[in-house]
Structure 1
C-alpha cells in the first residue's frame, strides 16, 4: 500500500537538495578566470567569501570542485565534469528571469564582432541578449577590427568585440590567446618545399605574424590562398591546401596543430571590447559581461593582467 500521508511527503522533501545558484555563478567565474581573487572582483565579493562559497558548493555536492594549483586554482576532474551542468542551470535561470521579468530597455543594440567570435560564441551571446533585452532590436555586423572601430567613431555601432589594436576609442582588454599553426590531419608538409599559407587578406594580425615567424626561422613560404572570410580560409585548411595561423578555438576534429616548422614560440594576441566615447547605452555593462563570459567559455583562457 502506498503511503500518501503528510509525514511521507515531509520526509521525502527533506531528502531533496537544492543547489544555490549564487554558488554556481561564483563557481563558473572561478572556472573561467582560473583565480578566486579575479572571480571575487568580477562578482563583487571578497576573496575569502568566494573561497567559502567553493567550500559550501563542495559540501552540497559531496566532492571538491576546485583545487590549488600554483598561484591560482584548477578544476578537479569532478568539478570539470560538473561545470557544463552548472552553466546550463545558470543559463536556464537567466532565460526564465528574462522572460518573466521583462527588461524595460528597448533601444536598438548595434554590435560588431570579428569573424572568430562569430564562428564560435555568437550564437550563445545572442541567445542571452535576446533573453535579457527582449524588446531591443539587435543589429550585428561581422567585420574587421579596424572597420568596427571606424563604425564606432561615426556612431554606427555601440559595442564591438575584436582584436586589440592601437586606437583612441575606449578599450577594455578581456583575454589573451596563443597563436598556433593549424592544418588538416591528412596534410604532409615537404620540408624541402615552401610552406603553403592560407591567409586572410591584408591587413591581418595573423597574416603578419605568420610571415614574420617563417621569415625569422628561414623557412620559405608561398601564399597558396587568400580569402576575406574565415569560413573560406578554414575550408581550404580542411581541404589540405596548406596551413594557417589562428588560435586553438579554430580547431575541428579533422584539423590539428602543426608544431614542426622550426619557428620560435608564436606570439599571443588579445581580445578587446571597444565602445563609443559618448552616448553610452545603459545596457552596455551587461552586454560586455555576457560577451566576455561567452568568449571565456569557449576554451580555457587566461585573463589579461
Structure 2
C-alpha cells in the first residue's frame, strides 16, 4: 500500500497536464523525455490508475487524472511554501510586479494567492499599465518582473503564451458594409489598436474611432453598450458579447504575452516568482501555451 507520494512525480505530472506535451514538460522540469515518460508510468502504478492519455497530438489528463491534478497542485504549493519559509529563509523584500490589463482578474487572483502564501513577509506592489510603461520601469529598476505584450527590447524576456486576436462587439450590433466600422480602442500605444487599424486598412474597409479609453473596464463597457467593435483576445468575451463574423477580409495577428525581467542578476526569490507567473499564465490557456 502506498504511503508517500513522490513530489518529483507530481511536479512532472502537473507540467505535462499544463503543457499538453511530454517533451515540453521534460524541458521545464530539466529531465529527458524518456525519464518523464517513466515517471508518469511510476505515478500511475503508485496511484492505481492512469493519469494521462493521448488525444490526437496532445497528452491530457484522464478523468481520474484531472480530478487528482488539483490535489497535486496543492501538495506542490504546500511543499514550496514550506521550503520558502523554513529552508530558504524568510524573504521580506518588496516584490514589484507589472501586468497589462488583459491578464485578467481570475489569473491575478491565483497569482497573488500563491505569492502571498509563498512570501508572507514580503510587501507586494502591483502596477497595471501599458507594456511600454512597464519596460521603462524595469530599466529604471522600479519593477522586478512584468507581464506584457511582445515588444522590441533588450530586456530578458520569456514567451508565455499566444492567443488569437478577435473582433468583439455587442450581440445586437449590426455592421453595414458601406458604413465605416466604429472602433472602440485603447489609447496609443496598443498592440490591439495597431492590429485593428492595419487589418481594416489592408482589407480596404473604412473605419472611424468611436470611443477611446485607457481602461479595459471602460473599453468593454463601451463595447457592451453597442458603441462599436474592439479587438481583444477571446478571454474578453462575456454572455452579452460575441465575435464579429462579418468583418470579412480582415486578418488579425496572434497576441503574444511575454514575461519581462530587469537587467542584472535575479534574487533567488524572483526565480520562484517567475515560476509562479509562468505556471499560472500558461495554465489559463493551455491550447495556446508555448510547448
- Same fold by TM-score, threshold 0.5 exceeded? yes
**Is the partner of 1:149 in helix, strand or coil?**
helix
Give the one of 44, 48, 53 matched to 1:66: 53
Quote the Cα distance in structure 2 between the aligned partners of 1:76 and 1:99.
27
Is contact 2:84–2:90 with CA below 8 Å preserved after alignment?
Answer: no
Deviation at 1:287, TM superposition (A): 0.8
Deviation at 1:262, TM superposition (A): 1.0
1:214 correspondence with 2:197: no
Deviation at 1:84, TM superposition (A): 6.3
Most deviating of 42-51 and 132-141: 42-51
Quote the Cα distance in structure 2 between the aligned partners of 1:197 and 1:213.
12
- What is the CA deviation profile of residues 34-61 of structure 1, one whole-angstrom value per residue up to 9, with x for unaligned ones? 2111101111222112222333444536
- What is the CA deviation profile of residues 69-128 of structure 1, one whole-angstrom value per residue up to 9, with x for unaligned ones? 33xx2326626xx53651354136514762696242111111111111153411111110
1:37 correspondence with 2:20: no
What is the TM-score of this pair, normalised by structure 2? 0.88
Deviation at 1:157, TM superposition (A): 0.9
Quote the Cα distance in structure 2 between the aligned partners of 1:142 and 1:233.
15
Quote the Cα distance in structure 1 between the aligned partners of 2:246 and 2:28.
39
Instruction: Kindly report the root-mean-square deviation, in angstroms, between the aligned alpha carbons of the 2 structures.
Output: 2.5
Alignment gaps of 5+ in structure 1: 1-13
> Which residue pairs with 1:193 in the alignment?
179
1:122 correspondence with 2:108: yes
> Which residue pairs with 2:168 in the alignment?
182
Deviation at 1:192, TM superposition (A): 3.2
> Which residue pairs with 1:11 in the alignment?
none
1:75 correspondence with 2:54: no
Quote the Cα distance in structure 1 between the aligned partners of 2:116 and 2:62.
33
Is contact 2:84–2:119 with CA below 8 Å preserved after alignment?
Answer: no
> Which residue pairs with 1:90 in the alignment?
73
Is contact 1:54–1:66 with CA below 8 Å preserved after alignment?
Answer: no
Quote the Cα distance in structure 1 between the aligned partners of 2:78 and 2:61.
28
Greater radius of gyration (CA): 1
Distance 1:235 1:21, change over 3 A: farther
> Which residue pairs with 1:148 in the alignment?
134
Aligned length: 287
**Is the partner of 1:219 in helix, strand or coil?**
coil
**Is the partner of 2:34 in helix, strand or coil?**
helix
> Which residue pairs with 1:9 in the alignment?
none
Deviation at 1:149, TM superposition (A): 0.8
Give the one of 258, 263, 268 matched to 2:244: 258
Most deviating of 137-146 and 169-178: 169-178
Quote the Cα distance in structure 2 between the aligned partners of 1:17 and 1:241.
61
1:294 correspondence with 2:291: no
Is contact 1:21–1:90 with CA below 8 Å preserved after alignment?
Answer: no
Quote the Cα distance in structure 2 between the aligned partners of 1:224 and 1:92.
50
